[in-house]
Chain A
Amino acid sequence: MNPDVRGWRIALTPDALMNPSRTTLPDVLSVFESSGYGVLQLPGQGDHSLLLAVIADQVEEYSHHGYAVVAIGLQGEPGHGLHWRRLAPLLRHRGIALPPRHIIKADVDAVAETHRLATWLDNYDLPVEEQRRWR
């Protein structure tokens, strides 16, 4: 029996959500755990050109092999914390469709935002024929 239980879904996640400075934000790691998503952590603000290129390489590899990749942003952070102006061209250059994005609203009901995130994550995956091809 294959003991592998990977979830085949991955969320690009800003540092500001991984390590929130406010308790009013959803606990995204708990949501990822219950929804079966892995994480690719994006760095905080600053120039991280080489690290973003490394992350784009990983997204490319996942995208070519049946993994669903999404991006979770945070309202109020520059570029929603996703470094999108830098990351999007890196992904396009690699021929990768940009991952669908979900933006967490700051300073609203965290319980409602948690539910909204969980519902969005649970409802997203690759088309069934792509899943059958790889998984």
Chain B
Amino acid sequence: MEQKSPRKVALVANCLLNQNAKVCEGARYPGVVSPVVEALRSRGYTLQQLPCPELAFAGARRWWAVYEQYDTPVYRAHCRRLAQAIAPLIEGYIRNGDEVILIGLDGSPSSGVRFTSTQRDWGGRPNHPEDDWEIVPRRGIWIEELEAELARRGLPPIPATGWALDMGRFDEAGSRRDLDEFLDGRR
């Protein structure tokens, strides 16, 4: 691979650049989540969008789901395929000496970094009109599999945080403060 000057690269959850990937009722922006893009670009980060694991697996009209429902061998295999698709790019950044960070989606069963959603009772006929899931400090399935693939390649852990879009009640200002603190703490 051609050696380039080190850059700052942000791996960004798919839906932070494309809210059409969100589950029904989950899109808070028409397309691009502009506060995330602005925070990263103003600090000189190059953007690298990650694939959306849920869209191609469960579809655009998928039901809402929690960690336990996606924690299946077939979904994990699907996530590993996606990880193997994007890992060569990430490996190239790291081997080049680029500063790489990951911005996931906190609360998501797949893309959560600091938090994911859990509810052991969910399953069967969808009949949970109330928001009765819980948030727990844990990676989502996709982030777990992506990090495992990078570790298999002998790559170091990537500093990561999440944009708190799927935490129940979305607080854009609080999410922005969180992200700013994470990014500024790296200087």
Report the interface size class on chain B: 35 or more
A10-B20, A38-B19, A51-B86 given; A19·B28 CB < 8 A: no
A7-B31, A19-B47 given; A39·B17 CB < 8 A: yes
Contact A32 B32 (CB under 8 A): yes
B88 shortest CB reach to chain A, Å: 8
Contact B60 A5 (CB under 8 A): no
> Which of B20, B46, B60, B89 is A43 in contact with, Cβ under 8 Å?
B89
A-B contact count (CB 8 A): 106
Greatest chain B CB density within 10 A among A3, A58, A64 is at A58
Contact A53 B85 (CB under 8 A): yes
The chain B residue with its CB closest to the CB of A49 is B85
Q: Which residues of B contact A38 (CB under 8 A)?
A: 17-21, 30-32
Q: Which residues of A contact B48 (CB under 8 A)?
A: 41
B174 sits at the interface (CB 8 A): no
Q: Which residues of B contact A48 (CB under 8 A)?
A: 85, 88-89
Contact B18 A10 (CB under 8 A): yes
B29 sits at the interface (CB 8 A): yes
Contact A6 B30 (CB under 8 A): yes
B114 sits at the interface (CB 8 A): no
Within 8 A of A (CB), among B57-106: 59-61, 81-82, 84-86, 88-89
Within 8 A of B (CB), among A72-103: none
Bound together, the chains give a CA A37 to CA B47 distance in angstroms of 17
Q: Which residues of A contact B17 (CB under 8 A)?
A: 38-39, 41
The main secondary structure of chain A at its interface with chain B is mixed
Contact B18 A5 (CB under 8 A): no
The chain B residue with its CB closest to the CB of A59 is B56
A4-B26, A18-B47 given; A61·B32 CB < 8 A: no
Bound together, the chains give a CA A96 to CA B44 distance in angstroms of 37
Contact A29 B28 (CB under 8 A): no
> Which of A19, A36, A50, A67 is B60 in contact with, Cβ under 8 Å?
A67
**Chain B residues engaging chain A, CB cutoff 8 angstroms:** 17-22, 24-32, 34, 37, 41, 46-49, 51-52, 55-56, 59-61, 81-82, 84-86, 88-89
| Cross-chain pairs A/B with CB under 8 angstroms, 18 sampled | A5-B19, A5-B28, A7-B30, A19-B47, A32-B32, A33-B32, A33-B37, A38-B30, A39-B49, A40-B18, A50-B81, A51-B85, A54-B81, A57-B56, A58-B21, A58-B55, A62-B20, A65-B59
